[in-house]
Amino acid sequence: MNERETLKINQEGHLEIGGADCVELAKSFGTPLYVFDEAQIRRMMRSYRDTLQREYKGNGLVLYASKAFSCKAMYAIANQEGIGADVVSGGELYTAMQVNFPAERIYFHGNNKLPSEIELALDYRVGCIVVDSLTEAERIEGEAEKRGIVQRVMLRINPGVEAHTHAFVQTATPDSKFGFSVFDGSAEEMVSALLKMRHLRLVGYHSHIGSQIFEKASFVLAVEKVLDFAASMRLKYGFAPSELNMGGGFGIWYTDEDRRISADGYGEYLSALIQAVRTQCREKELPLPRLLIEPGRSIVGEAGVTLYTVGAVKEIKGLRKYVAIDGGMFDNPRYCLYGSKYTALLANRAAEKPTELVSLAGKCCESGDLIGVNMELPEAHIGDIVAVLSTGAYNYSMASNYNRNLIPPAVLVREGKAEYIIRPQRYEDLVRFDALPDSLK
């Protein structure tokens, strides 16, 4: 069913993920449930890592963009695969450090890092901080001085290439809260400022042009623009980057409107980047930098499915059919946020062809609480197990306790055997941080 063998339909007609029967998983662990296929996560990490090794003499590092799905198990897997991690908050950093993730392989991002987060990053001695404001740079300088260290930093720049699914645009005046524009002089001012700071060592540039991108040409153009900037900074300041971080953003399959890319196919995206870096550095007479990429969605997105139980079916005659499940925007807010599209099937009748278009409704008190509209499904009945595919990225990590619903647990499947990587919440957990002032007792 899925060319990477993450998903299969077994002899009972049930959906399997990583060799585990989804109906059995729903019985054992309950629903809603996030399920992850460990083999697929590792395949993706290895594909990027090995391409870098083969085609760039290993002169670089793959950083798992952990915002896609952050939990101890993910950092442990990334560490075992010998890759690094990108973190964007003290919380992600703390989680990584709980499994002794090598701090030198951590890159810390964020457009407004809190003073306490900067201190934590320096205390842990993270490998690199990606600077996104002058105030932040000055703060890192001060904290590094206090500790008597020199902190490696990169500068996040905005090369004026914006890309989204199936399209990219070049903009001269990019409007973004991230990075410094190469067009209005602000990136240059930052280079000049960073080079003067005695406790910072500027190692290079970072750029991330968007997410769910399928066009290799957009990454190639971004490399060209970043290295144009690097070349002009070398002329002016004599600084050539020893590292180049081109971010993440490789697209994944959600529905048949998207391309299906094999693990090797993702390696080809990295090959295109490597090729562009080699060509541009040759043309601009820049030394070849250490190359970093930060894939998140493509590492973990298709490795995950979410299982739900159908609790109600409601037809508004001539208009729409709602299939209501026991999850919703509290475990997957992406339809509400971006109108994202998903593919769903009935895990207990997985071989059945879809016969109708339905809206998959969550259980929150919000009309807009949907996982999707016009989704193809066979006729669903109460008790059916719905599997929503490609939910590994930006689902759990964006989940909330809205309506005081419990965030579902997650299991990791390895050779057909599932174990918790996120344990179930209980109602006690919901009130754990509530406080009752004396006047209300």
326 touches 31 (CB < 8 A): yes
297 binds ligand PLP (CB under 6 A): yes
Range in contact with ligand PLP (rule: CB under 6 A) among 144-152, 290-298, 379-387, 414-422: 290-298
Q: Which stretch binds ligand PLP (CB under 6 A): 43-51, 256-264, 291-299, 329-337?
A: 291-299
Closest among 433, 59, 56 to 267, alpha carbons compared = 56
Nearer to ligand PLP, 202 or 345 (CB): 202
**CB of 383: closest distance to ligand PLP in angstroms?**
35
Matching residue, tokens 């079916």: 313
Q: Fill in the DSSP letter of residue 103.
A: G
Which range binds ligand PLP by CB under 6 A, 39-47, 296-304, 406-414, 419-427? 296-304
- Which span sits near ligand PLP by CB under 6 A: 33-41, 257-265, 293-301, 408-416? 293-301
Beta carbon of residue 369, minimum distance to ligand PLP (angstroms, whole number): 24
365 is catalytic: yes
**Alpha helices by DSSP H, 128-215:** 134-147, 186-196
- Measured CA to CA, the distance from residue 402 to residue 389 in angstroms comes to 22
Rounded Cα gap, residues 35 and 21, in angstroms: 11
User: What is the chain's Cα-based Rg?
Assistant: 23
Task: Cite the DSSP H helix spans in 99-210.
Answer: 115-124, 134-147, 186-196
Between 31 and 158, whose beta carbon lies closer to ligand PLP? 158
x/- map, 182-221, ligand PLP, by CB under 6 A: --------------------------x--x----------
Residues in contact with 367: Cβ distance below 8 Å, sequence separation at least 6, in sequence order: none
Looking at the Cβ atoms of 246 and 375, the one nearer to ligand PLP is: 246
Instruction: Provide the token pair at 191.
Output: 């280079």
Residue 294 within binding range of ligand PLP, rule CB under 6 A:
yes
Q: How far is the CB of 296 from ligand PLP (least distance, A)?
A: 3
Task: State how far the Cα of 191 lies from the Cα of 347, in Å rounded to an integer.
Answer: 54
CB of 440 to ligand PLP, least distance (A): 41
Nearer to ligand PLP, 199 or 297 (CB): 297
Residues paired with residue 180 on neighbouring β-strands, in sequence order? 157
Q: Which of 89, 110, 104, 112 is nearest to 152 (CA)?
A: 104
Q: How far apart are CA 84 and CA 296, in angstroms?
A: 12
Q: What residue has token string 């197990």? A: 385
Q: Are 3 and 262 in contact (CB under 8 A)?
A: yes
How many residues of this chain bind ligand PLP (CB under 6 A)? 16
Residues numbered 231-250 forming contacts with ligand PLP, rule: CB under 6 A: 247-250
How many degrees, rounded to 5, is the angle at CA 92 between CA 90 and CA 97? 90
Whole-number minimum distance, CB 423 to ligand PLP, in Å?
25
Contacting range for ligand PLP; rule: CB under 6 A; set: 189-197, 292-300, 354-362, 412-420: 292-300
| Non-local CB neighbours of 277 within 8 Å, separated by 6+ positions | 223, 227, 244, 288, 289, 291
The only residue of 37, 38, 86, 136 in contact with ligand PLP, by rule CB under 6 A? 86
Q: List binders of ligand PLP among 247-286 (CB under 6 A).
A: 247-250
Footprint (CB under 6 A) of ligand PLP, residues 312-371? none
Of 281, 336, 364, 365, catalytic: 365
Write down the least CB distance from residue 35 to ligand PLP, Å.
19
Q: Are 273 and 320 in contact (CB under 8 A)?
A: no
Site pattern 43..82 for ligand PLP (x: CB under 6 A)? ----------------------x--x--------------
- Nearest C-alpha neighbor of 77 from the set 87, 88, 66: 66
Q: Which residues, 379 to 398, sit near ligand PLP by CB under 6 A? A: 393
Q: Is 139 in the site for ligand PLP (CB under 6 A)?
A: no
> What Cα–Cα distance (Å) separates residue 52 from each residue in 78, 241, 274?
16, 18, 8
Alpha-carbon span 429 to 123, nearest angstrom: 30
Question: Does position 302 bind ligand PLP by CB under 6 A?
Answer: no
Which residues make up the interface to ligand PLP (CB under 6 A)? 65, 68, 86, 109, 208, 211, 247-250, 294-298, 393
Please list the active-site residues: 365
